[in-house]
Amino acid sequence: MAAARDARGPAQDVSKTAYEQRLLWNQENVKDVAESVGISNLGDEALRTLSQDVEYRIGQVLVEALRCMRLARRTFMTIQDVSQALRVLDVEPLYGYDSTRALRYGEANLGSQALFYIEDEEMEFEKLINFTLPKIPRDASFTRHWLAVDGVQPASTSNPTTAESRSQDLLPKGLGANPALAALSGQDNPNFKPAVKHVVSQELILYFEKIQAALMDENPDVEVQRLREAALESVSSEPSIHQLVPYFVNFISTQVTHHLDDIFVLRQMMELTNALISNDHLFLAPYASPLCAPVLTCLLGRKIGSDSGVAALKEQYHLRELAASLVGQLARKYSDSNKILRPKLVRTCLKSFLNPSVPPSVWFGAVHGLLSAGGVDVVKFLLLKNLKEFETSMLIPLQQKNDPISTHELRAVLSAIMKAVHLLMAEDSVVADGMNGYSSENEASQIKAFVGDIVGDRIVQLGNHKLNQIILDAKNFH
């Protein structure tokens, strides 16, 4: 074994010596740097490890510098390449070493060690004297120029006009400028005309026009009604109209904005919205908020339709109920992709419900909107807690008017509120035929004190003990 160990010893020493000779960074340099910072007791193993690490770091910098050089399409490396490599490696760059030309290095041999140095360029003194002098720079001068006064650009000779600035913005700039900008700015001989419009096939354009014509036709003829139903059915099931989605959304918004006095147009737009939502082949998540705007207008609009009277009011309430169902569909279907959609809808409906300056039809729509968008939790913790204030400031003054229109509006608002109460009954499997106990006088008084006398009387008349407990539990919730 001793002989074998002796045989291996010289081979290991030779390989170790050869490995040390392959190191590009001399250990003596590491030792000199260590002694310069006060470390004088470095062992041979530490010196060898530090030398290997320095060599590896230098190799890293050189590889990144070569990459920067190749990206710049050069065959020689500059100081800027090394600085960029240090920046890529998150190392503080060296300051004071900068040159616009490649440095030339010379090599001098000092015994067995090679020393590299930067060669200085030699210039003849007479040639340097005979160089032409640079031009004398112009004297500095100052002048005043108002870019803007109170946020408005003044009309002066030094400021471009609006048309000129617009034309300058659209001019192509640089070697790789887009020729489409030149065409838009009115320049002569552009390379090509820009495609500034969404390219839609002629078949889809014809389909969109036919849908518009069918929905906007108010003719009471049976064939026209069948055509409207067929158009809505096509929109709700056709899988190849995804390119028309933004046009349908814009069409709905425009028609609702400009035809608030026409119940027929508003209802057709809500039917079209329902058809779009029902189409499982369409991706409507990015258009959920734009679709909510016209739906909320039909739900919470102050003045919808131009006719007056009980019959016109009933038709308006039917439209608001349809809009409320659409609000619920939008909240349920797109709340996962848009986290703030449902809270925003609930907050908007609650704000209209608590506003005493709006007509009672808006309260009707707000209650249905809260019911559809929020569900049972919103009814328990928002609607019921505000019924007392709602009765005091809104229902009682409406009840005191004592005319047919006000009576019908009061009945409609109360029916909407009771619909929300019945939702609590359906959610908790409460039977509404009095089979869940009875209502005591104490419970009745507590219910009326919580939600008010008008709504409280209707709840007590249901004679449902379990429902009363659910409402009283909502009273104690904070």
Same domain, 418 and 351: no
Number of structural domains the chain divides into: 3
Which residues of the chain have a pLDDT value below 50?
1-21, 171-172, 175-176, 179-185, 188, 190-192, 194-195, 429-435
Domain boundary among 118, 144, 165: 118
Instruction: Identify the helix (H) or strand (E) that includes residue 69.
Output: helix 44-71
Q: What is the pLDDT of residue 11?
A: 43
Same domain, 341 and 240: yes
pLDDT per residue over 314-333, tens digit each? 889 999 999 999 999 999 99
Q: What is the pLDDT of residue 15?
A: 46
Alpha-helical regions (H) of 338-393: 341-353, 360-374, 376-378, 384-390
Distance CA 329, CA 468 (A): 30
Alpha-helical regions (H) of 375-435: 376-378, 384-390, 396-401, 404-427
Distance CA 368, CA 419 (A): 9
Distance CA 302, CA 358 (A): 7
Instruction: Identify the helix (H) or strand (E) that includes residue 167.
Output: helix 162-170
The number of C-alpha atoms within 13 Å of 257 and in the hemisphere containing its C-beta is 9
Q: What is the pLDDT of residue 186?
A: 52
Domain around 79: 19-118
pLDDT per residue over 9-40, tens digit each? 444 444 444 444 466 777 888 888 888 888 88
The answer to the question of residue 193 being in a domain is: no
Instruction: Spell out the residues 6+ positions from residue 304 whose beta carbon is closer than 8 angstroms to its own.
Output: 260, 261, 263, 266, 298, 316, 319, 320, 361
Number of CB atoms found within 10 A of residue 222's CB: 8
**CATH for 292:** 1.25.40.770
What CA–CA distances, in Å, run from 209 to 238, 244, 340? 15, 11, 34
Under the phi-then-psi rule, with left for phi > 0, alpha for psi from -120 to 50, and beta for the rest, what region is 358? beta
Same domain, 353 and 401: no
Q: What is the pLDDT of residue 104?
A: 74
Report the predicted TM-score, pTM, of the whole model to 2 decimal places: 0.57
